[in-house]
Amino acid sequence: MSAAVADILRIRRGDPALVRVEPGQVRIEIEAGAEATVVERHTHANEQASTEINVARGAILRHIVWQAVPVDAKHEHKVNARVAGVLQAHLLAFGGGFARVDFAAELEEHGELDAYGLMLGRGTQKQDNRTVITHAQPNSKSRQLWKSLLDDKATAIFDGLIRVRAGAMKTDASQQNKNLLLSKDAGVLSKPHLEIFADDVKCAHGSTTGQLSEDALFYLRARGIDEKTARGMLADGFAREILESIAAESVRGEALAALSAWLLGGDRDGGVA
């Protein structure tokens, strides 16, 4: 069976600023002069979800993938972006028993990418996020900030590759991966890679994995905040940075509320209303 031919979402100057699309085989093209936010909310498991993105020079796209499929399901999503303008990408991996995202972006001259990832896991959830950012031409810029928040026996993989092609001088690339383990049985595999074939480039990357700070926990408790609430506040404080960077206010609010619900443990499927 062949996949259905994707409908193409073409965004032109003057189109609505916020668009919600059904996930599946998605294609997004945004023209010069246009600016929009596109939200893909994945609520049904799909092992072949894909999104193709083309951001023309002079266009600004904010793309938000909110994955909230059932926590016993397998879900796979491939995102491929070609960026001559500006792309801000949010990949929120909240649900799924096994959920994998392959995010690839190729940056053309003066292209800019700001990519944020947040992986949540509890129980035996496995989150797997892989990024390949290719700086194909000179003067492009990429920023990646990826976080994972893992409880119980949940695990996550962050595998991030930054590639700088020969001739892509003045590339400015950075990648940060931060992981917070709420239980001693949770685990994370963080694998940053750099492949640099050009001179005169800036590439920074870093990765940290830790537990809740005992000092911070005691500080909150010493002010009367009970231990469970204090742990929740600290975990929320760790993760919310990713969600606060969502520009669309309504989506940001929903995402922060979903994080709070997740922290309370009452919402097993990652925030599907």
Partner 1 sequence: MSAVANATIVEIKDLHARVAGGAEILKGISLTVKPGEVHAIMGPNGSGKSTLSNVLAGRTTYEVTQGTVRYLGEDLLELDPEERAVRGVFLAFQYPVEIPGVSNVQFLKSAYNAKRKHEGKPEADAVEFLTLVKRKVKELGMDDKFLSRAVNEGFSGGEKKRNEALQMSLLEPKLAILDETDSGLDIDALKAVAEGVNRLRAPDRAMIVVTHYQRLLDYIVPDFVHVLAKGKLVKSGDKSLAMELEKKGYAGIEASA
Binding site for partner 1 (CB under 8 A): 213-216, 218-227, 229-230, 233-234, 236-241
Q: Which is nearer to partner 1, 9 or 216 (CB)?
A: 216
- Taking phi first (over 0 means left), then psi (-120 to 50 degrees means alpha), and beta for anything else, what does residue 228 get? alpha
Residue 85: CB minimum distance to partner 1, A = 30
Contact 59, 32 (CB under 8 A): yes
Residue 219: CB minimum distance to partner 1, A = 4
Residue 252: CB minimum distance to partner 1, A = 15
Locate 129 and state its tokens.
Answer: 């996020």
Residue 262: CB minimum distance to partner 1, A = 15
Q: Which is nearer to partner 1, 73 or 233 (CB)?
A: 233
Q: Which is nearer to partner 1, 14 or 224 (CB)?
A: 224
> For the chain, how far is it from start to end, CA to CA, in angstroms?
32
| Cβ neighbours of 232 (radius 10 Å) | 18
Order of strands, sheet of 86-93, starting from the edge strand that comes earlier in the sequence: 18-21, 35-42, 60-67, 86-93, 112-121, 141-150, 172-181, 202-211
β-bridge pairing 49-55 and 25-30: parallel
Q: Which is nearer to partner 1, 184 or 223 (CB)?
A: 223
User: How far is residue 90's CA from residue 245's CA, in Å, rounded to a whole number?
Assistant: 9
Q: Which is nearer to partner 1, 42 or 231 (CB)?
A: 231
**Cβ-based neighbours of 238, under 8 Å, separated by 6 or more:** 147, 149, 178, 180
Residue 77: CB minimum distance to partner 1, A = 27
